[in-house]
Amino acid sequence: MTENGQAMRQQIEARISELQLEHRDLDLALHRLIEDPRRDEFLLQRMKKRKLLLKDQIALLARQLDPDISA
């Protein structure tokens, strides 16, 4: 792998780590919000959508690191 390729791989791995951290934090916040009887349903739905978006972004970046060669 070239130096540029290695640098790009490190950037992608760092971004995946950031997104995973945000995903975990959002998951914890969602659990707290769900347990609150006075929860804001609109906020709950927005947080769930954001969590799904993060999951999709993580999967996309992971595929860039390890593409499916048989495809």
pTM over 0.95: no
Cα separation, 10 vs 20, in Å, equals: 15
Which two structure tokens, joined as six digits, stand for 1? 């792998």
Domain ranges of the chain: 3-65
Tell me: the pLDDT tens digits for 6-48? 999 999 999 999 999 999 999 999 999 999 999 999 999 999 9
Of 36, 54, 34, residue with least CA distance to 44: 34
Check if the beta carbon of residue 61 is closer than 8 Å to that of residue 15: yes
